[in-house]
Structure 1
Amino acid sequence: MKFIYLFFIVGCTMMINAQNKISGIVTDSNNNPIPSATVSLPEIHKETSTDKDGKFTLNNIPQGTFKLLVSFMGYETQTQTISLSGNEIQLSIVLNEAITHMDEVIVSNVFKRLQSQNVMKVELESIKSLQQKGTATLIEGLATIPGVSQVSTGTSIGKPVIRGLSGNRVLVYSQGVRMENQQFGEEHGLGLNDSGVESVEVIKGPASLLYGSDALGGVLYFNPEKFANPNDFKADVSQRFFSNTLGSNTSLGLKTSTDKWKFLVRGNYNTHSDYQIPDGDRVTNTRFNEKDLKAGIGYNNASFATVFRYNFNQLDLGIPEDGIAEQSTSKKTNFPSQGVDSHILSLHNNVFFKNSKLDIDLGYIYNDRKEFEDSFTPILHMKLKTFNYTVNYHLPKKGKFETIIGAQGMNQTNTNFGEELLIPDATTNDFGIYATSLYEWGKNVLQAGIRYDNRKVASENHGTIGNEGYFEAIDKSFDSFNASLGYKTNFSENLTMRLNLASGFRAPNLAELTSNGVHEGSNRYEIGNSNLDNEQNFQTDLNLEYKSTHFEWFVNGFYNHIANYIFISPSGTQVDGYDVYNYEQSNAALFGGEVGVHFHPHPIDWLHLTSSFETVTGRKDNGDDLPLIPANRWNNTFKAEFEQGNWLKDGFATLNIVYTLAQNNFSEFETKTNDYTLVNLGLGGEITINKSKFNVNLNANNLLNKTYVSHLSRLKTDGIPNIGRNIMLGINFKI
C-alpha cells in the first residue's frame, strides 16, 4: 500500500499560486455562433462546451503555457498556444468547415499534438466506433484496424498483433501506465474491458524511445473516459446482446464535475456462453464472465492539477481443451479454467511553471492469475506486483525548438503460490532516461530523440537439477541505446509525407530465460536459455496521405530488421512423450504495409466508400518464415449517413466485406490457411422519443454464416472453425 500513499503525497504537494480564466466565443466563418463546440486543455484534463450563443468559460486554470483546442464535428480543429500568469484571457475563435474528419490530439506522443501535426502516423479509433462494428470484446474491435490482428483462443482470449509482432513485443498502456499481466503467454488475454475507455491510439512501429523495453513492435495506448464538463452531471446505461454466444454486456456510468472537482464511476458485467460454429455446434468451454469497475477523481485549481484513476477487472475464463464435446449454453465455466484479478491504480500530475512544465505519472498494477485444472485449488497461481513511473520535463521553448527530457522506471515482483510453476519467483527493475526535441518551420516538422535503458532480472532457484520444473537462479542485466528521427512535410495543401527511422529493443522475458517443463497451451516441453541477448530492431516507416473535399488515400510502408529475434525450435528429443523445444535466436526481418482510399462523392456526401489492404511478411535470415504472421487482408465498407426528422440523428447503415487471403507463408509449427470472405452489416443512430434520447445499433457479423479458420487462431490445430453468424443489438440511454 505504500505506493498508493505515494500517489496522494505527490498529488497533494504541488503548489503554484495564480488565478487564471479563459473565456470567449466560437463562431463559423459567417460569424454565426457554434453551440456545443468542445473547448479543452488536454494537458490538465479541462474541458467545456459552448452554449447556444457559442460562448464558453474555463475557470481555475494553473499558470503556464498550454495548448487550447476547439473542435466541432464538420469543422477543422483549431489549436492555440495560451500563456497564463494570474490573468483572464478573452478569445474569439473562428472554425472553418472541415475537408475531412475532425482532427484529434495524439495523447501517446509526449508533445500532445494534433494528428495532422504529428511526425509519426498514429491510428486513432474511438471505442464507440469499434463497438458499432458489433464485436464482442475489445480485442476483436482492435483487430479491425489496418495493421492490427489478434492471436485468439475462441472469443474469450485474444492477444494483439501489430504488423506481425505480438506477445511481449507489443506494449499496452491504460490510464497512462503500462499494463503488466503476465502478457508473455499465448493463452493470456488483453485483460482490459472497453467500458470506460474513450479511444485507442495504435503506434505501428518501435516506440522504445518513449516507452522502453517491450515496445519493439508497437504500442496500444488506451485513453480513459473523459470527465463531465464543469457544473454538469451525466449518467448513462448501455446494454448489448449477442445471439451467437447468448451473451450480454451491461454498463452503467455516473459522472459529475464542479469547477475544481471531477468524479466518475463505471461498472460493467460481461457474460457469454460457448461460441457456436456455422454447423450449429458449440466449442466446449469457450464461455467466459467478466466484471469491471472504473473510477476517477480529478482536482484542479489555480495551484495544481491531478487525476487519480482506479480499475478493477475480474475474469473467469474457460480453457477449451476437448474441442467440440459436451454441448451446453451454460455460462458457468468448466475445468480447466483461468481466474484473473487485476487492479490498476494511476496518478497523473501536472506542474506548470512560467515557461515550462513537469508531468509525473505513477502507476501500480496488481495482477493475480490462477489456473484451475480439475478443482478449485489452483494448480498455477502467480501474483505480479508492478510499480512504474514516468517523469517528463518540458523545457522552455526556444524559438521553434521544443525539448522534453524524461525518466522512466519499473519495479516488478512475481511470486508463485500454486503447485506448479510456469516461471520462477523473480524481480525485475527497469530504468531509462531520454531526451526528444521537435523543430517546426513552415510546413515541416522534424523530431529526434535518444534514450538509454537498463533492465535487471533476478530469479530464485527452484526444484532439482535435471528434473522437470527446475529453475536455475539467474541474475542478468540488459542495456540498450535507442534513437529515433522523424520528418513530416506538406508537399501541398492536400498531400502530406511522413518518414520515420527508429530503433527499439526487447529484453528476453522470464519464460524465454528460465522455462523447464511442459507448456500445456502448446503441448510441448520447453527449455529456456539464460544466455539470450536483447532483441534489437531498426525500422523504417514511410507514410503518404492525400486529403481533398471528397477523396482521400493513404500509403504506409515499413521495413523492420530484428537482430537476435527469439524463437523456439525443436531439439529432436523427447521428455515424457513430449517433443522438446529450445529457445534460440536469429536475425529476422518483417516488411509490408497498408494502403487505403476513402471516397464520399459530391453531391451525395452522405455516402462513404472505404477500402484498405494490408500485408506483412516475416522471415528469418535463413529464409524460414516467422510464426504468427497474419494473412493479407482486403477490407471494404460502404456506409450511408442520414437523419430523419427530429427523431433520428447521426443515423448510419454499413455493409462491410472483408476478404482474407490464404496464408501460404507459415513457420515449421504451422500449416497453410485457406482464404475466406466475411460479410457484416450494421445499422444505428440516435433516436429521440419525447424528451428521451438513446443510441441504438444493430449488427450482423459473418452474415452468411461462413465456416472459416483464422491463421492466428490457437484452435486451428484442432480443426475448430471461428465463430459463426453473430447478431448484436446495442442500446445506450443517456439519463
Structure 2
Amino acid sequence: MLFLQTFVFAQQAQLTVHVTGARGFAINDARVTINGTRQIYTDSIGQFVLSGIVGATYSLRISKQGYLNENRQIKLESKNQSLTISLATLSHQLDEVLVKENRNLIRKGEEVLNVAVVNSDFIQRNLGGSLMKTLERLPGIKTIGIGSGQSKPLIRGLGFNRVVAVDKGIKHEGQQWGADHGLELDQFAAGEVEILKGATSFMYGSDAIAGVINVKPSRPPLKHTIAGNVDLIGKTNNNLYGTSVNLLGRNDKFFFDTRFTYQDYDDYRVPTDRVYVYDFEVPITNNYLRNTAGKETGIHWSAGVIGEKSNTVFYFSNVHSKSGFFANAHGLEPRKVAAEFHDRSNSDIQLPSQEVNHLKLINRTAYQFEQHKIELELGFQRNFRQEFNQYVNHGYMPANYPSNLQIPKDLEREFDKKVLSANLRNKFILNAHQFTIGTNLEFQDNLINGWTFLVPSFKQYTAGIFIYDQLKLNETLILQGAIRYDYGKMKLAKYTDWFESNDSQKLVRAENLTRNFNSLVWSLGVNYNPSKLFFKANIGKSFRIPIAKELGANGVNYHYFSYEKGDPGLSPEKSYQLDATLGWKERSWSLNISPFYNYFPNYIYLNPTANYDYFYGAGNQVFEYAQSKVIRYGGELEFNYKLTSFLNAEILGEYLYAMQISGVKKGFTLPFSPPPSLLLNLTYSPKDTKLFKDSYFSADYRITGKQHHIVPPEKKTEGYQVINLQIGTSLHFYNQPLRVSLQAQNLTNKKYMNHTSFYRLIALPEAGRDIVLSLKIPFKLVKHNHN
C-alpha cells in the first residue's frame, strides 16, 4: 500500500500559469475554464495552478473583459511546470480603464437582475454620514435620514423590512421596523457593495421584496505581506472628526485583517434659525439642532486560511453608537426643553438619546472539488438597543416613577435581539447550466424592556430551500430560472402593564400568539449581451412575513407621535415585479434605461384612523395596520458621455409612481415615496504627473421635483436644487502614496425639505453646507515579493 501511494503521488503534477497583458502586467480575476466544465479565476498577481496527472492533456480557455479569449492545449510533462500566457487586448478598448468600471460591467454582464457595484474608492469619494447615505448618489437609492449619523436605505421607495442588508454573507438583523433605527454598518470596513434591485426573495428569502444591499469584505492581502492604511476624516457642519486604522497581513495561506474606527461629532446645523414642531415655534441657536451629537466606534477582526481547493475565514465585529434625539421633538412628539441647558454645549449628549451595540461572529467556508463549490456561512448576531428619556406619564401611568420598580428610571425602551443564521449552497456546472442549490436557516429571539410598551417580545423561525439555474446558451445569451420554498413561525409573548388601570387591574396589552407562514416564490430572467447592445429582463414573485410590530403593536410610538395597533390576522405580504434594463455602449458614451412594474395584492401599511387614544396614550391619533392592493412603477436612467480624454459628463435620473388601488386609502400613494430627481455631473480628470495621480474635479447638480402625491399624515414637499463638489488626488512622496478627497455638500447652504427624511413631518430642513475632508494613507511593513 505504501508503494502504491508513493507511485500515485509521483504521477501527480502541477502547472503554475501566469496570465499577463500585452505589456507584461498581471491580469487578475481572469476566468479559466478547464476541459469546458470546471472554472477557476486567476489570483491578485494573475496566477493560477493546474493540478493533474503526468502525461494528461487539458484544454484551457482563458477569458477576461477587454481581452481576446485564449485557447490552449496543455500537456503535463513533469511534476512542476510554469508557463506565461499573454492575452491580446481588444482593438476597440482604451489603453487605460478604471477598475471599478470593469468590475461593474463584468457583474452586469453576468447577472440577470438589475445590479450596481461600488468599491471603497467610491465610498471615500462620496463619503456621507453613514454607508447608506454614501450610496444615495446611485439612482434608485434613497435614505430615511435620522440626524447626521444614522440612516436606513430605500430601494425604489421601499424600505424597512422590505430591503435586506447582507454583511459578509449573513443577513444583517437589527430593529429594521423603526424609522429612527439606522443600520449598524461601518462604511470604512466595506470592501465592495453590491446593490440588487427588484425581486430577490428566491435567493435571500423573506424581506427581499425591494432588493438587497450586499456589503462584502475586503479581499485577502497578497502573500507574504504586512500592510494597512489609515483613514482620517473631518466635517465642518457638525465638527466631526474620526479615524479608521487598518492592519492586515498574510504568509502563504494564513491571513489576518483588523480595523478600528472612531468618530465623534457635535450637533449638526441647518440653514434656518427656527423650526415649527407642528404648531410650536422652536428657535434654533446659531443654527445648531439641540442634542443631535454622537459618538461611534467599530472594532473588526478577521482571520482565515486560503488553500487551493478550500478556504475558511472567521469574522468578528462590534459596532457601537451613542447619539441624541432632537431635544425639542422626541421623535415627532413636541417637547418643551430648557434651551439654555442644551445650548451650553454642542457636543454633549443629553436625554432623549439612544445607544446601540451590534456584535457579529461569522464563519465562511468554501470547498471546491471537480465541478462543485460548496459554501457554508454560519453567523451569530446580537443587536442591543436602548432608548433613554425622562419619565413621562401617559394615561394610567403613575404621576411619579415608583421607587421599587426594577426598570431604570430613564430607560424608556430596550430591545435585545439575538440571531443565529446558517446558509449552505452547492454551486456546480452541468453542461451549459450553472446550478446553485441552497438552504437558509434563521432563528431570532428579541426581548424587550423599559417603562413603555410598543412591541412585544418574540421568537421567529425561518427556513428556506431554493434552486437557481443559469443557462448560458452562447457568449451573448443567458437564461435564468429559480424557485424557492419558505416556512416561517412567529411567536409573540404576552405583555402586561406594570401599572394598574382605573379598575385596579393591570391591562394585558399583548396576548400570546403563534402564527405559521409558508410561501413559494420564483424568478425568470434573460440577459442578452452582444458587443454594444445589452438587454435584461426579470420577472419574479417575492414575499415578506409580517413582523412583530405589525402583528402585535399596542402602544404609543413617540417617534411618530401616534398610537399604533397591530393586527394578528395579517397575511404574508406578496409582491410581483417585472424589471428590465436596456443599454447601449459605444467607445465614448453609454446609456442605460431600467424600467420596472410592481404589484402588491396585499401590501401591509399603517393606516391613520379617526380615533384618538386618551386612556393609555396622550390623546394620540390611533394608527392601525391594514392591507391593500398597490401598484408601483418607475425606473432609472444612466447616461455617460466622454467629451474629451479628460472631461466626462453623466446624467442620472429616477422616477417612481405608487398608488393604493383598494382599502380605505384607495387613491393615495405610499409613505416615503421619493419624488423624481435628476443628477447632472461633470468630471475633469487631468493627466497624471510625477506628484499627482488619479486626480479629479467633479460637480453634482441635483434637481429634485416636488412631491404633492402623498398619504396622510405626510406633508407635501416642494422641489429643490442642490450642488455638491468633489475634488481628489493621490500624492506620492518618496513612494508613499496619500489619497486626498475633499467634498462640499450643499455648497450654497440651501434650505430644503427631503421627502424621505424622518424629520420632514415637523418641517425640519436638511443639513446645511458641509465641507468634508478625508485622507487615506496606505502603508506596507513587509512588501510582497513577486519572485
Q: TM-score, normalised by structure 1?
A: 0.89
Question: Could you tell me whether the CA contact under 8 Å between 2:17 and 2:48 is conserved in 1?
Answer: no
Taking the aligned partners of 1:254 and 1:467, their CA distance within structure 2 comes to 56
Taking the aligned partners of 1:394 and 1:212, their CA distance within structure 2 comes to 18
Question: Could you tell me whether the CA contact under 8 Å between 1:77 and 1:102 is conserved in 2?
Answer: no
Question: Are 2:218 and 1:225 aligned?
Answer: yes
Question: Could you tell me whether the CA contact under 8 Å between 2:28 and 2:47 is conserved in 1?
Answer: no
Question: Are 2:315 and 1:309 aligned?
Answer: yes
- The 1:249/1:179 distance shift into structure 2, 3 A limit, reads same
Taking the aligned partners of 2:178 and 2:68, their CA distance within structure 1 comes to 42
- The 1:383/1:393 distance shift into structure 2, 3 A limit, reads same
Question: Are 2:450 and 1:418 aligned?
Answer: yes
- The 1:534/1:37 distance shift into structure 2, 3 A limit, reads closer
Residues 286-435 of structure 1 mapped to structure 2, 5 A cutoff: 286-302=292-308, 304-322=310-328, 325=339, 326-327=342-343, 330-374=346-390, 377-395=410-428, 397-435=429-467
Shift of 1:262: 1.1
Larger Rg: 1 or 2?
2
- The DSSP-based 3-state class of the residue aligned with 1:470 is strand
Letter in 1 for 2:383: N
- The 1:636/1:733 distance shift into structure 2, 3 A limit, reads same
Taking the aligned partners of 2:524 and 2:72, their CA distance within structure 1 comes to 25
Gaps of 5+ in 2: 1-10, 33-37, 273-285, 330-336, 391-407, 780-787
CA offset digits 1:381-437 (Å, max 9, x no partner): 221010111111124x22211212111110111112333343222110001011111
- The 1:706/1:672 distance shift into structure 2, 3 A limit, reads same
Alignment equivalent of 2:24, drawn from 18, 30, 33? 33
Letter in 1 for 2:420: F
- The 1:27/1:106 distance shift into structure 2, 3 A limit, reads closer
Letter in 1 for 2:603: Y
Match of residue 505 from structure 1? 543
Residues 91-130 of structure 1 mapped to structure 2, 5 A cutoff: 92-94=85-87, 96=89, 98=93, 102=99, 114-130=107-123
Taking the aligned partners of 2:554 and 2:75, their CA distance within structure 1 comes to 60
Residues 143-542 of structure 1 mapped to structure 2, 5 A cutoff: 143-279=136-272, 280-302=286-308, 304-322=310-328, 325=339, 326-327=342-343, 330-374=346-390, 377-395=410-428, 397-442=429-474, 443-463=476-496, 470-490=509-529, 492-542=530-580
Question: Are 2:654 and 1:614 aligned?
Answer: yes
Letter in 1 for 2:16: S
Taking the aligned partners of 1:377 and 1:44, their CA distance within structure 2 comes to 59
Match of residue 642 from structure 2? 600
- The DSSP-based 3-state class of the residue aligned with 1:706 is coil
Taking the aligned partners of 2:471 and 2:677, their CA distance within structure 1 comes to 37
- The 1:690/1:213 distance shift into structure 2, 3 A limit, reads same
Shift of 1:194: 0.4
Match of residue 688 from structure 1? 732
Letter in 1 for 2:509: Y
Shift of 1:605: 1.4
Alignment equivalent of 1:571, drawn from 604, 609, 614? 609
Question: Could you tell me whether the CA contact under 8 Å between 2:184 and 2:319 is conserved in 1?
Answer: yes
Match of residue 12 from structure 1? none
Match of residue 5 from structure 2? none
Taking the aligned partners of 1:78 and 1:219, their CA distance within structure 2 comes to 33
- The DSSP-based 3-state class of the residue aligned with 1:703 is coil
Shift of 1:24: 3.2
- The 1:644/1:216 distance shift into structure 2, 3 A limit, reads closer
Please, which moves more after superposition, 325-334 or 557-566?
Answer: 325-334
CA offset digits 1:91-128 (Å, max 9, x no partner): 51415264675478989xxxx97321222220111232
Taking the aligned partners of 2:582 and 2:457, their CA distance within structure 1 comes to 47
- Tell me how many residue pairs correspond in the alignment: 700
- The DSSP-based 3-state class of the residue aligned with 1:139 is helix
Taking the aligned partners of 2:472 and 2:745, their CA distance within structure 1 comes to 45
Shift of 1:87: 8.1
- The 1:537/1:93 distance shift into structure 2, 3 A limit, reads farther
Letter in 2 for 1:524: S
Please, which moves more after superposition, 538-547 or 328-337?
Answer: 328-337
Taking the aligned partners of 1:728 and 1:70, their CA distance within structure 2 comes to 41
Letter in 1 for 2:522: A
Shift of 1:715: 1.4
Letter in 2 for 1:722: E
Question: Could you tell me whether the CA contact under 8 Å between 1:232 and 1:258 is conserved in 2?
Answer: yes
- The 1:92/1:714 distance shift into structure 2, 3 A limit, reads same
- The DSSP-based 3-state class of the residue aligned with 1:32 is coil
Taking the aligned partners of 2:71 and 2:481, their CA distance within structure 1 comes to 24
Taking the aligned partners of 1:520 and 1:273, their CA distance within structure 2 comes to 24
Letter in 2 for 1:705: N
Question: Could you tell me whether the CA contact under 8 Å between 2:605 and 2:626 is conserved in 1?
Answer: yes
Question: Could you tell me whether the CA contact under 8 Å between 2:417 and 2:444 is conserved in 1?
Answer: yes
Shift of 1:303: 5.9
Match of residue 5 from structure 1? none
Letter in 1 for 2:487: N
Match of residue 674 from structure 2? 630
Gaps of 5+ in 1: 1-17, 51-55
- The 1:62/1:221 distance shift into structure 2, 3 A limit, reads farther
Shift of 1:302: 4.7
Match of residue 725 from structure 1? 769
Taking the aligned partners of 1:623 and 1:535, their CA distance within structure 2 comes to 20
Shift of 1:196: 1.4
- The DSSP-based 3-state class of the residue aligned with 2:109 is helix
Question: Are 2:752 and 1:700 aligned?
Answer: no
Shift of 1:310: 1.1
Percent of counterpart pairs with the same letter? 24
Taking the aligned partners of 1:646 and 1:102, their CA distance within structure 2 comes to 21
Letter in 2 for 1:290: E
- The 1:627/1:352 distance shift into structure 2, 3 A limit, reads same
Match of residue 665 from structure 1? 709
Question: Could you tell me whether the CA contact under 8 Å between 2:291 and 2:349 is conserved in 1?
Answer: yes
Q: TM-score, normalised by structure 2?
A: 0.83
Shift of 1:363: 1.2
- The 1:359/1:83 distance shift into structure 2, 3 A limit, reads farther
- The DSSP-based 3-state class of the residue aligned with 1:259 is coil
Letter in 2 for 1:538: Y
Letter in 1 for 2:459: T
Letter in 1 for 2:480: Q
Question: Could you tell me whether the CA contact under 8 Å between 2:113 and 2:198 is conserved in 1?
Answer: no
- The DSSP-based 3-state class of the residue aligned with 2:686 is strand
Please, which moves more after superposition, 95-104 or 652-661?
Answer: 95-104
Letter in 2 for 1:380: R
* Alignment RMSD (CA, Å): 3.2
- The DSSP-based 3-state class of the residue aligned with 1:129 is helix
Taking the aligned partners of 2:111 and 2:70, their CA distance within structure 1 comes to 13
Letter in 2 for 1:293: I
- The DSSP-based 3-state class of the residue aligned with 2:139 is coil
